[in-house]
Structure 1
Amino acid sequence: MKITVLSGGVGGARFLRGLREHVRSAIPGAELTAVVNTGDDMWLTGLRIAPDLDSIMYTLAGENDEARGWGRVGETERVSGELRAYGVGWPWFTLGDLDIGTHITRSHLLREGQPLSAVTERIASRWPLGVRLIPATDDEVETFVTVEGGELHFQEWWTRHRAAVPALGFVQRGVEASAPAPGVLEAIASADVVLIAPSNPVVSIGTILGIPGIRDAVATTDARVVGVSPVIAGAVVRGMADACLTAIGVETSAEAVGLHYGSRASGGILDAWLVDSSDAASVVALADAGIAARAVPLWMRDPATSAQLAADALASAR
């Protein structure tokens, strides 16, 4: 069985970890591929930072700092302290020393001329992840946030301002000229199931789908496409995705996000949509829109609940 997941960072990482654990026991031999958002990526102090790829890699490797939700466990931050002392980089964007090792490796290989997909494969081979990671594109596509008076890089808006500056819209610079990374379209076309992780619908999944060719691949695959809501009872599970949804005129609700993605029968990307048990009242409206919705527990509190959510997603595909 081939399962392809479109994923952003922390929520997607936890979902992928649960999916891996479920298939190991229930579907031996299943092939898991994650197509990962790169719209949060950036160059900083001469290093190419790829937050979503790294969050997923560290989580699957068992190296993620579970308390913070990002970065490596057991980190020190001496290098970031030195950079601040020299007045280099962004003082509010702290990188751990172990994490910097990943960024140096990535930047070195990119400067050698290797594409991001090949670099990611090499870096990820350090650990037995059980999931193939493919960046959505090898091209540099970076997200900027339109605010009153100009634009901010997404990381400045998200990390420094915590999305408190009202966003008027989002611009993925370079997306029109970008192309899916090698293996992306094949992973979607050949999949038995395509899953949309509970990641930010606007700047994570939305950026992936904005790369020319990927939305069409999802819309036309023979696989069933099942999404998992990142919103529970009118609140985002993690981060500030509600600010992103507000900026594009979408209500922060499981029903509204499902309708935003839309039914494949009506030009959207979903066959089925999982909402939390607390949002069971939305199932009828989603069904009326052509989306086979199902209400199940969505909170990924531990490996067991994450694995059960993955099992429910695959059951919805069947």
Structure 2
Amino acid sequence: MRIVVIGGGVGCARFVLGLREHIARDSSDDTIDVVVNTADDWWVSGLRIAPDHDSLLYALAGVNDTERGWGRAGETERVSAELAAWGTAPDWFTLGDLDLGTHIARTAWLREGASVSDVYRRLGSRWPLGATLHPATDAEIDTQVVTDSGRMHFQEWWVRHRSRLPARRFKQSDIERASVTSGARDAIENADVILVAPSNPVVSIGPVLAVPGMRGLLKDAAAPIVGVSGIIDGSVVRGMADACLTAIGVETSARAVAEHYGARRAGGILDGWLVDETDAAATDPLTALGITTRAVPLWMRDPDSSAQVARDTLALARTLR
């Protein structure tokens, strides 16, 4: 079975780790493709940084910093301190030395003419990931945040200001010129199951869906599409997705996020939706809207619980095939 996941960042990484664990325990020949958000990528000190991709890459490779939740394990930050001292990098955005090695390699390949898809393949070939990563688009569609204090890159709003500046809207630069990569298109068209990861609905999932042609691919996909809520009992599991949801007028709840994605039969993207047991009251209303919803434990605290979330997600998908 070909499993395709849409997402990016730490939430997606944990979910994909759970899928990989489940497949290993089940001794199946299922495969995993991940269509990754690229809209939080940006340029720092002349280097192209790709946080959502790298969170997935490092986690699947087993070289991530599990305590911080991002970056490489065993990092040093001497080069980043030098860049800040020279004034070529903001002091609020720290890059580890090992992490910089990835960014230097990525930028070198891009400047030689490689596409983002090419770079994904090269970076992914270093470690046995157990999944194939595809950028949603090869175009630069960096997310800009419009606030009362002006317009800024998403990373500045997220990291420097910790999303404390009220956002008025989010915009992906030049997204009208973007197109779905061939890898992402092939994965979606030939998927047996498509899963929407518990990633930030606004700035990780939203930009993927906004790539021209992506919604049409999902609408026409033969595979069932099941999402997993990253909101549990009215709170975000990780990060500051609540600030993003507030900015677009969506309540921070598992039910509201599913309604935001919408039922596929009504022009949205979801056939099914998993919520945590604490949000069981959402199951009947969402099912009535055309989104078959189940309530199961969603906390991914360890390999066992992560594998169980994956198992429950696939079980729901099988009932919808």
Tell me the TM-score normalised to structure 2 length. 0.98
What is the match of residue 229 of structure 1?
229
- The alpha carbon displacement at 1:289 in A equals 0.8
Q: Which aligned pairs between 1:68-217 and structure 2 lie closer than 5 A? A: 68-217=68-217
Q: Any unmatched runs of 5+ in structure 1?
A: none
Q: Any unmatched runs of 5+ in structure 2?
A: none
Deviation per residue, 1:258-278 (Å, 9 max, x gap) = 011011111110000000000
Secondary structure at 1:226's aligned position in 2?
Answer: strand
Q: Percent identity?
A: 59
What is the match of residue 245 of structure 1?
245
> Quick one: distance in 1 between partners of 2:59 and 2:92?
23
What amino acid maps onto 1:15 in structure 2? Answer: F
Deviation per residue, 1:268-317 (Å, 9 max, x gap) = 10000000000001111101111100000111101111111001000000
What is the match of residue 268 of structure 1?
268
Q: Which aligned pairs between 1:297-316 and structure 2 lie closer than 5 A? A: 297-316=297-316
- The alpha carbon displacement at 1:83 in A equals 1.0
Secondary structure at 2:5's aligned position in 1?
Answer: strand
> Quick one: distance in 2 between partners of 1:16 and 1:54?
14
> Quick one: distance in 2 between partners of 1:74 and 1:27?
32
What is the match of residue 31 of structure 1?
31
What amino acid maps onto 1:63 in structure 2? Answer: V
> Quick one: distance in 2 between partners of 1:193 and 1:68?
32
What is the match of residue 43 of structure 1?
43
Deviation per residue, 1:73-96 (Å, 9 max, x gap) = 000000011111112211100000
- The alpha carbon displacement at 1:181 in A equals 1.4
Q: For the structure 1 residues 149 and 162, does the alpha-carbon distance in structure 2 shift closer, same or farther, using more than 3 Å as the test? A: closer
What amino acid maps onto 1:164 in structure 2? Answer: R
> Quick one: distance in 2 between partners of 1:75 and 1:149?
34
Q: What is the root-mean-square deviation in Å for CA atoms of aligned residues? A: 0.8
What amino acid maps onto 2:317 in structure 1? Answer: A
Deviation per residue, 1:22-43 (Å, 9 max, x gap) = 1122252111100000000001
> Quick one: distance in 2 between partners of 1:199 and 1:33?
16
> Quick one: distance in 1 between partners of 2:317 and 2:251?
26
How many residue pairs were aligned? Answer: 318
1:66 counterpart = 2:71: no
Secondary structure at 2:203's aligned position in 1?
Answer: coil
What amino acid maps onto 2:299 in structure 1? Answer: W
Tell me the TM-score normalised to structure 1 length. 0.99
What amino acid maps onto 2:40 in structure 1? Answer: D
